[in-house]
Chain A
């Protein structure tokens, strides 16, 4: 149950995520050298507006993308036809992901 707007939103959010995923993977490879600890991660992220923006953007894109993706899976698995219900589901899932993500992001960067 995707119209053009949802389709564009899903492709654009994927486009935003693609380089961020690569950066995230590169950082992981770099950070894990010589072992990794919570303290080491927090030392990098805490108080860093740069990382807050990087992962903030990632988070928003992932919340939009995953909410639309799950909407498609739900609609096609159960052959649902109600747009109102699917819109509500998409918004609710997106909001939950966004809130959970922003809480975690806040804790590791700006708290």
Chain B
């Protein structure tokens, strides 16, 4: 038998676009139950029209993030007994993104900002040249290491109050990616990346309060990556005046 209430009172956001309301469901509690298990159980047993998104169920794909009792989380790796409030769960779509339907947020703005931040590889060689060797012990490589395990889950983006107040702000994940590109010795687009993160929605809008780092399920620190971008852009400001 599990300790505490045997049923969960679950409130789930239902609706499309900007309209909707929370709907209540009763779900039996189980051992080692995740929040994603709860959502799946409702969809399989109570309401097949419930829309949500997941793929890997093991914290790899980054598609299952939702707001759980007001906090952005990867639901497949979030155990109910760590987050329920006396058997109550309120589950909504990710903050700071438009809603497609129910728990499925529209990720387009999130990924568009990755591209805007130049968070992509700018090759320096062609396929006919030798593969570049990167020393795993080099400082740049070790700095990049701390930023590369991002699963694009948008948890940090949902946690960021600056995104909430400034719709043009590129946000922690895109800037974290930009920082790993800046530290990639093979990348030929360093100046473009620094210019892309210096525009009016760029890294300089971050207030360094660290919600992104606090909530990142993969324990990355977009906060530190953004501090690195601020440092490098300030340096290039003195050198080139921009």
- A-to-B contact residues, CB < 8 Å: 1-8, 11, 72, 75-77, 79, 81, 83
State whether A79 and B205 are in contact (beta carbons under 8 Å apart), knowing that A1-B200, A3-B198, A8-B237 are contacts in the complex: no
| B168: Cβ under 8 A from any A Cβ | yes
Cα-based distance from A6 to B230 in the complex (angstroms):
13
B167 near A: Cβ within 8 Å?
yes
B171: interface (CB < 8 Å) = no
A77 to B205, CA, bound (A): 14
**Alpha-carbon distance A4/B235, docked complex (angstroms):** 11
Rounded to whole angstroms, the CA-CA distance of A79 and B161 in the bound complex is 11
Q: How many residues of B contact A (CB 8 A)?
A: 17
Contact yes or no, B165 A76, CB < 8 A: yes
B119 interface residue per 8 A CB criterion: no
Q: State A2–B242 Cα separation when bound (angstroms).
A: 13
Interface on chain A toward B: helix, strand, loop, or mixed SS? helix
Q: Which of A1, A5, A8 is B166 in contact with, Cβ under 8 Å?
A: A1
**Residues of A with C-beta under 8 A to B202:** 2-4
Pick from B165, B230, B233: contact of A75, CB below 8 A.
B165
**Residue pair B205, A4 in contact (C-beta under 8 Å):** no
B201 touches A4 (CB 8 A): no
B residues adjacent to A (C-beta < 8 A): 162, 165-168, 198-202, 204-205, 230, 233-234, 237, 242
Q: Shortest CB–CB separation between residue A95 and chain B, in angstroms?
A: 21
Nearest CB on A from B240, distance (A) = 11
Partner of A79, one of B167, B230, B237: B167
CA distance A76 to B166 in the complex (A): 5
Q: How far is the CA of A5 from the CA of B230 in the complex (A)?
A: 12
| Chain A, Cβ-Cβ closest to B205 | A2
Contact A83 B200 (CB under 8 A): yes
16 contacts between A and B (CB under 8 A): A1-B200, A1-B201, A2-B205, A3-B200, A3-B204, A4-B234, A5-B237, A7-B230, A8-B234, A8-B237, A11-B234, A76-B165, A77-B165, A79-B166, A81-B167, A83-B200
Output the nearest chain B residue to A7 by Cβ-Cβ distance. B204
User: Chain B's nearest CB lies how many Å from the CB of A2?
Assistant: 5
C-alpha spacing A43/B165, complex, angstroms: 48
Q: Kindly list chain A residues whose C-beta atoms are within 8 Å of the C-beta of B201.
A: 1
Chain B contacts for A5, CB-based, 8 A: 237, 242
Contact in complex: A81, B168 (CB < 8 Å): yes
Residue of A7, A11, A79 touching B165 (CB-CB under 8 A): A79
Task: Give chain A nearest CB distance to B206 CB in angstroms.
Answer: 9
Cross-interface CB contact of B204 among A6, A75, A77, cutoff 8 Å: A6
A75 CB contacts on chain B under 8 angstroms: 165-166
Contact B168 A1 (CB under 8 A): yes
Question: Which residues on the A side are within 8 Å of B165 (C-beta)?
Answer: 75-77, 79
Residues in A whose Cβ lies below 8 Å from that of B200: 1-3, 83
| Chain B residue at smallest Cβ distance from A11 | B234
* Chain B minimum-CB-distance residue to A83: B200
**A-B pairs with the 3 shortest C-beta distances?**
A76-B165, A7-B204, A4-B198
C-alpha spacing A5/B204, complex, angstroms = 9
